[in-house]
C-alpha cells in the first residue's frame, strides 16, 4: 500500500510503497477515505523541539506512518473484536487507554496513566490502510461524510474545551487564536448556546474564516483587544469565558485582564515553556477557574460531536481550506504556514 513515512529526523516525509498491515487480535483494518493534518503531524514533518519532546514521551520509533485524524471503512477485523464489523464506517480516537489504571477505571481513560498515542506510539493513518485497536474506534452515523468524520477528533478537542468552560447560554467568549482548533471552537460555542464570540489571530486569512463563522474577528496586532472587550462586555467587566488555543506564551501577559470576575479560562494550546501568572491578581481576586484540555471524553464528547454534525448544528468542513492527494503529502505540509485552515487528504492512490 501507499503511505507517508517518517524515516528519520530530517524535515519531510517519504511517500512510498509499504506493507499492507494485518489486524492482530483486538484490532481492526480500516481503508482510509479521508485524513486531516494536525499540529502534531506538522511538528513531525519539521522535526522540531516539540516533536523531540512528544516522540520521547510517547515512544515514537522510526520508521513511523504519521496521522491520527481520519475516517474510513472497516475492511477486516482481528480475532476477538466484537463491537465493530466489516463494512462499518468509522473514525478514531487518538488516545489509546490501557484500560486498567486508576484513570481508566474512573471514567477518565482519555487521560490514562499509561497512554499510547495513535500515529506516534504506533503507525497512524496517512496511508491507504490503517490498523487500530478496537478500543479507539468510533462508528460514524450514516449521515456523516468521511470528511466530517476525519474532523471528529479535532472537533472533539473544541467540544471538550467548551465542556470544560462551564459555558452558559448567552455567554460572551474570547477564543484566543483562529487556527483549526480555534475555528472549530467557534462553531462548538455557537451550537452550545454562546451569545457572542470574539476571536483573535495575527493572520488575516484565518481571521476571515473566523468572521465567516460568526465571530467578531480581531487582529490583535492591529486592533486594541482591550478596547474591543470593553465595548462588547461593558457591564460584565470582561468576557465570561476564554478559550486559549494559540499556545503562544506572550498571550498570557494580558489574557486574564480580559476575563470578568468569576469567569473561566480553558487552555488548549501548549506554550512550549513556563508562563508567569500573577496568581493573586489573575486567579484569586478574580475568583477565576483555569482548566486544561487533553483529549476528549471517551466517548461522551464524541457523542456530542456526532449529534451536532448529524443534526447539522455545525459544519466541520467549513474549516477545510485545502485538499491534497497523499502522494503530494510534502506539498500539503508546506501549505500550512502559507495560509490554511484544516488540510485534508482525500486521495490515497
Ligand atoms: Zn489531532
Ligand atoms: Zn489507563
Gap from CA of 79 to ligand 1 centroid (Å): 28
Query: For the chain, what's the residue count?
Result: 349
CA distances from 124 to 16, 62, 94, 143, 188 (A): 15, 13, 9, 25, 27
- Choose among 155, 194, 160: nearest CA to 174: 194
Among the bound ligands, name the one nearest to the CA of residue 100: 2
Question: According to the model, what pLDDT value does residue 160 have?
Answer: 98
Q: Which fold has domain 164-292?
A: Rossmann fold (3.40.50)
Q: H-type helices in 235-347, by residue range?
A: 252-255, 300-310, 329-335
- pLDDT, averaged across the chain: 97
- CA of residue 179 to ligand 1 center, whole Å: 13
What residue ranges do the domains of the chain occupy? 2-139+315-347, 164-292
Q: Which residues are catalytic?
A: 40, 43
Distance 294 CA to ligand 2 centre (A): 14
Q: Which listed ligand is nearest to 109 at the C-alpha?
A: 2
| pTM of the predicted model as reported, rounded to 2 decimal places | 0.97
Question: What pLDDT does 273 receive?
Answer: 85
Beta strands 89-92 and 69-77: pairing type? antiparallel
* Ligand number nearest to the C-alpha of 68: 1
User: Could you say which ligand is closest to the alpha carbon of residue 38?
Assistant: 1
List, in order, residues 6 or more apart from 299 with CB less than 8 Å away: 93, 138
CATH 3.40.50.720 assigned to domain 2-139+315-347? The reply is: no
Residue 278 Cα to ligand 1 midpoint, Å, equals: 31
Same fold, 2-139+315-347 and 164-292: no
What residues are paired with 96 via a beta bridge?
116
Least confident of 133-142, 153-162, 271-280, 309-318: 271-280
Q: Please give the angle made by the CA atoms of 108, 114 and 115, to the nearest 5 degrees.
A: 70
pLDDT digits (tens, 9 = 90+) for 15-59: 999 999 999 999 999 999 999 999 999 999 999 998 999 999 999
Cα 61 to ligand 2 centre (Å):
21
d(CA 203, CA 178): 8
Interval between CA 160 and ligand 1 midpoint (Å): 13
Residues 121-140: tens digit of each pLDDT: 999 999 999 999 999 999 99
CB atoms closer than 10 angstroms to residue 1: 16
Amino acid at each position: 500500500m501507499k503511505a507517508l513515512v517518517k524515516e528519520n529526523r530530517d524535515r519531510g516525509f517519504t511517500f512510498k510503497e509499504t506493507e499492507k498491515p494485518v489486524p492482530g487480535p483486538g484490532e481492526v483494518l480500516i481503508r482510509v477515505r479521508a485524513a486531516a493534518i494536525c499540529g502534531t503531524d506538522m511538528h513531525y514533518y519539521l522535526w522540531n523541539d516539540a516533536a523531540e519532546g512528544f516522540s520521547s514521551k510517547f515512544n515514537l520509533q522510526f520508521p513511523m506512518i504519521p496521522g491520527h485524524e481520519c475516517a474510513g471503512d472497516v475492511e477486516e477485523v482481528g480475532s476477538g473484536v466484537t463491537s465493530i464489523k466489516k463494512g462499518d464506517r468509522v473514525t478514531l480516537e487518538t488516545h489509546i487507554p490501557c484500560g486498567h489504571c486508576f484513570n481508566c477505571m474512573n471514567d477518565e481513560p482519555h487521560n490514562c496513566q499509561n497512554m499510547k498515542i495513535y500515529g506516534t506510539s504506533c503507525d497512524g493513518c496517512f496511508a491507504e490502510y490503517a490498523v487500530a485497536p478496537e478500543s479507539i474506534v468510533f462508528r460514524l452515523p450514516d449521515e456523516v461524510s468521511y470528511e466530517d468524520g476525519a474532523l471528529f477528533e479535532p472537533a472533539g478537542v473544541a467540544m471538550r474545551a467548551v465542556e470544560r468552560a462551564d459555558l452558559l447560554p448567552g455567554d460572551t467568549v474570547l477564543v484566543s487564536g483562529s487556527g483549526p482548533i480555534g475555528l472549530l471552537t467557534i462553531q462548538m460555542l455557537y451550537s452550545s448556546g454562546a451569545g457572542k464570540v470574539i476571536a483573535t489571530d495575527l493572520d488575516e486569512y484565518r481571521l476571515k474564516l473566523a468572521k465567516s463563522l460568526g465571530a467578531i474577528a480581531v487582529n490583535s496586532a492591529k486592533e486594541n483587544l482591550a478596547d474591543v472587550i470593553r465595548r462588547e462586555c461593558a457591564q460584565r467587566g470582561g468576557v465570561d469565558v476564554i478559550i486559549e488555543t494559540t499556545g503562544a506564551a506572550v498571550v498570557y501577559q494580558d489574557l486574564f485582564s480580559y476575563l470578568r470576575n468569576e469567569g473561566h479560562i480553558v487552555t488548549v494550546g501548549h506554550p512550549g515553556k513556563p508562563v508567569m501568572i500573577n496568581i493573586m491578581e489573575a486567579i484569586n481576586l478574580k475568583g477565576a477557574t483555569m482548566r486544561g484540555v487533553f483529549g476528549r471524553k471517551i466517548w461522551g464528547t464524541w457523542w456530542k460531536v456526532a449529534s451536532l454534525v448529524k443534526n447539522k448544528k455545525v459544519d466541520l468542513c467549513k474549516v477545510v481550506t485545502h485538499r491534497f492527494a497523499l502522494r503530494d503529502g510534502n506539498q500539503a505540509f508546506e501549505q500550512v504556514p502559507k495560509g490554511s485552515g484544516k488540510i485534508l487528504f482525500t486521495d490515497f492512490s
